[in-house]
Structure 1
Amino acid sequence: MSIEITVLFDVVPDRMDSVTSAFQELCGATRKEEGALRFDAFRSEEHQNVIVLVEDWADQRAIDAHMKEPYVADFLARTEGAFVRPPHVHRLSALGA
């Protein structure tokens, strides 16, 4: 069974363009990783300064390897100070699982 994660990012309004660009690059690189089943970023239609990241990973090992990639460090550096609060991470479990 894969690991599904959703992360909500509340972006500082004047940083939205640079954060969007950083997410696009991160998603493009991450989708090429072994074990990355899904890695997509969306802008909320209801809350204009919220980005939602939807991830699906083969296993914890794939997540751990992802976090060590240089482009993840680059993303974190590029988005430092760009969020109103820490991201809200939801690691998901299917109902009845």
Structure 2
Amino acid sequence: MIAIEAKLEVQPAKRTEFLEATKALVDGSRLEAGNVSYDLFQSTEDENVFMMIEKWEDQAAVETHNTSAHFGQFVAFAQTALAKPLDVQTFTV
């Protein structure tokens, strides 16, 4: 199993748009073959800091996800909405 953690710090002015975009991303990702879980968490200390935690059955499922339309749309949006570069870490479980 592959686990991915992505820390996202959003520009305050883009927060509402970010939440809408992540809902589409989460909903679409959960429907993908090989997805175990896909969740967004908000920091308890800063309302503009989020953690996306994903679990996938294998690397092939991750690669398929990375080429999906909903992921591509989110990545394009995130480039305009994040206050800091995306911080992604990948783990094997």
Deviation at 1:93, TM superposition (A): 4.8
What amino acid is aligned across from residue 65 of structure 2 in structure 1?
Answer: H
Q: Which moved more, 1:69-78 or 1:35-44?
A: 69-78
Partners of 1:60 and 1:86 lie apart in 2 by: 24
Percent sequence identity over aligned pairs: 28
What amino acid is aligned across from residue 70 of structure 1 in structure 2?
Answer: A
2:76 counterpart of 1:77: yes
Deviation at 1:48, TM superposition (A): 1.4
Partners of 2:38 and 2:67 lie apart in 1 by: 16
Higher helix proportion: 2
Partners of 2:25 and 2:92 lie apart in 1 by: 25
Under a length normalisation based on structure 1, what TM-score does the superposition of the two structures give?
A: 0.88
Counterpart position of 1:44: 43
Counterpart position of 2:62: 63
- Residues 93 and 3 (structure 1 numbering): CA distance in 2 closer, same or farther, change over 3 Å? closer
Runs of 4+ in 1 over 6 A off after TM superposition: none
Partners of 1:53 and 1:76 lie apart in 2 by: 13
What amino acid is aligned across from residue 74 of structure 2 in structure 1?
Answer: F
- Give the unaligned 5+ runs of structure 1: none
- Give the unaligned 5+ runs of structure 2: none
Partners of 1:76 and 1:54 lie apart in 2 by: 16
Counterpart position of 1:12: 11
Which has the larger Rg?
A: 1
Under a length normalisation based on structure 2, what TM-score does the superposition of the two structures give?
A: 0.92
